[in-house]
Amino acid sequence: MQSTGLHFKGFALDTVIAAITQGRPYRHLMGFTQQEASRATRDTKHNTPLRTGSYPLMDWGWTRERAVRYLEDTYHETWIKSACTYCPFALATEAGRESTVAQFVADPHAGLLALAMEFTATCLNPTQGLINGKRLLTLLRHSPGTAEVLRMFDEYLTAVPWAVYDVRRTFTPRSDGRFNHARAVKILHTGTGAAMRACLREHARATGTAIIRGDSRFPDDQHPRLWVRHRDHTMSTVADAEHFVTVSPATAITKTGPAFPTAWAAAAQFQLAV
């Protein structure tokens, strides 16, 4: 999610700011409140000779509650915490989850968008649930008042085209003990959901490979996957990879990340070596 935020928020902001400032120094006002000092501290790391972060709400000693009251008094509207209906940060706390569920009950279409995005994301990567690896779908299934958004989601899954996807992902170790990730996704077939699930079963029979439903790391993951190669989670100092075939709504495109070919070759060499 972090890379998504950088791509769709940071890149867009930087592009617009550069067009407006034309290389001149500027102050970048950020709406962090008194409770968000750590976010402001992280933001200062993005300062440059041209860009200086500024935090007026913190300077005024405003909390989020004070800011919300000001907006209500000024505009006579209650401003929700996040305008992004699929924001994982809004789902990080119990209060945020309650607020999000209430928003989806009031506007099922917003919930449908979030569920659709999460469903495809978790088909292709089990770690990509919107609630710290867990599923928004599970939360809504156990929340009162969500029958309409769940009904719409079931209709969506029936109506949209599906695809069989070949998914390969690499993990290249870094000096800080973490990994750089790269991915290649390829559409193998498209059709109805039923036809693509049948196609996956046929692929399994042809290759003599069992289809595994779900991922043991995530109890609420139920996506079927035909695994070609599993990542070795005990290895942290060598290049590694995973490879599987799965089915999903056909909302992802065939795409190979620029770092993937080299990283895949390195991971393949390690697999041959062992």
pLDDT digits (tens, 9 = 90+) for 33-54: 999 999 999 999 999 999 999 9
The answer for residues whose C-beta is within 8 angstroms of residue 269's C-beta and 6 or more apart is 239
Does the pLDDT at position 235 exceed 80?
Answer: no
pLDDT of residue 199: 97
Q: How many CA atoms lie within 13 A of 113 on its CB side?
A: 10
User: Are the C-beta atoms of 271 and 149 separated by less than 8 Å?
Assistant: no
pLDDT of residue 273: 46
- Beta bridge pairs of residue 53: 28
Ranking 18-32, 155-169, 183-197, 257-271 by mean pLDDT, the lowest is: 257-271
In this prediction, residues 187-193 reach a mean pLDDT of 97
- Cα–Cα distance, 159 to 192 (Å, whole number): 8
pLDDT of residue 12: 85
Give SS3 for 254.
Answer: coil
Does the pLDDT at position 133 exceed 80?
Answer: no
Q: Which of 163, 121, 118 is nearest to 141 (CA)?
A: 118
How large is the greatest C-alpha to C-alpha distance in the chain, in angstroms? 67
Q: Which stretches of the chain are assigned E, i.e. beta strand?
A: 26-29, 51-54, 162-173, 179-191, 211-213, 224-229, 240-249, 255-256
Q: Output the average pLDDT for the chain.
A: 90
Ranking 57-61, 73-77, 235-239 by mean pLDDT, the lowest is: 235-239
In this prediction, residues 205-216 reach a mean pLDDT of 92
Count of positions (residues) in the chain: 274
pLDDT of residue 228: 94
Specify whether the backbone of 144 is left (phi greater than 0), alpha (psi in -120 to 50) or beta.
beta
pLDDT of residue 6: 56
Backbone angles phi, psi at 22, to 5 degrees: 55, 40
Q: What is the pTM (predicted TM-score) of this model?
A: 0.77
In this prediction, residues 222-238 reach a mean pLDDT of 87
User: How is residue 162 written in tokens?
Assistant: 């599906």
In this prediction, residues 206-215 reach a mean pLDDT of 93
Task: Report how far apart the first and last C-alpha atoms of the chain are (Å, whole number).
Answer: 33
- Angle ∠(125,130,132) on CA atoms, nearest 5: 85
Burial environment of residue 110 by CB neighbours within 10 A (0 to 12, 13 to 18, 19 or more): middle
Indicate the pLDDT class of residue 84, thresholds 50, 70 and 90: confident
Indicate the pLDDT class of residue 2, thresholds 50, 70 and 90: very low
